[in-house]
Amino acid sequence: MGWTTAYIATVQLRLHAWKSMKLLLIILGLFLMVYGVLGQEPSAPSNTARLSVPTLAEEVKKAELEPRVGLFLMNIRFMRARFSQPTPLAYQYSWDYFKEAKVLVNFSLAEDGFFSKTSAVDRKQKAIELVEPSIRDQNAKVTSATDITVSGELGKQFNLDINGRTVILRTFADKSTWYLLIVELKDGDEMQLAEMLLNSFEFKKADASK
């Protein structure tokens, strides 16, 4: 049946704190990953025969440019994902058919000046503040919180326990866009594979010829 979203959280950035932000950023509640019974059979990508469903271990071998906006690369096949576009400024991909994990990539374009006129440290803090309410609302247990660097930008990784499920969440932003990456492990032994996938994210380099 695909993914059953626990809820869709709409985050309105308070103007008295962040006056430059006037739009609503949509986040798929954190656990956009929660869908019915965790052990149910994963769905195959719509254009792939069930017998040829790839594994995440196979996917992480090759980088692919995100096709709709082209801001970043990641070692996963975007054309095999379920794609939804909550708003003209927010994009989301999800993969629920891997045997090892469920994966979600969400990114939201911010109003000019919201991130671009702030320091890397401030961007990191804003990215964290965008996800903290959803972590609280889901009653998730934070088992660890680690500072990360993504292509020079600062961010945070939260390892969460949600009713016995292990969920890894990364939040960070560059000067134009906020990113949310989520992996829910189906097997606790796949942490290294999940980290490999998350670490494959990199911003597209500017074309020096332009």
7 has a pLDDT exceeding 70: no
Residue 63 lies in a domain: yes
Residue 93 lies in a domain: yes
Place of tokens 């979600």: 104
Residue 4 lies in a domain: no
What is the torsion angle, in degrees rounded to the nearest 10, for the CA atoms of residue 150, residue 154, residue 155 and residue 156? Answer: 110
Q: 153 lies in which domain range?
A: 9-42+53-203
Domain count of the chain?
Answer: 1
Residue 208 lies in a domain: no
**Predicted local distance difference test score (pLDDT) of residue 45:** 56
Which residue has better confidence, 35 or 207?
207
Q: How does pLDDT run across 80-125, given as a tens digit for each residue?
A: 998 876 666 789 999 999 999 999 999 988 887 788 888 999 999 9
**Predicted local distance difference test score (pLDDT) of residue 206:** 61
10 has a pLDDT exceeding 50: no
The CATH number assigned to the domain holding 82 equals: 3.40.1000
* CA gap 169, 135 in Å, rounded: 10
Residue 1 lies in a domain: no
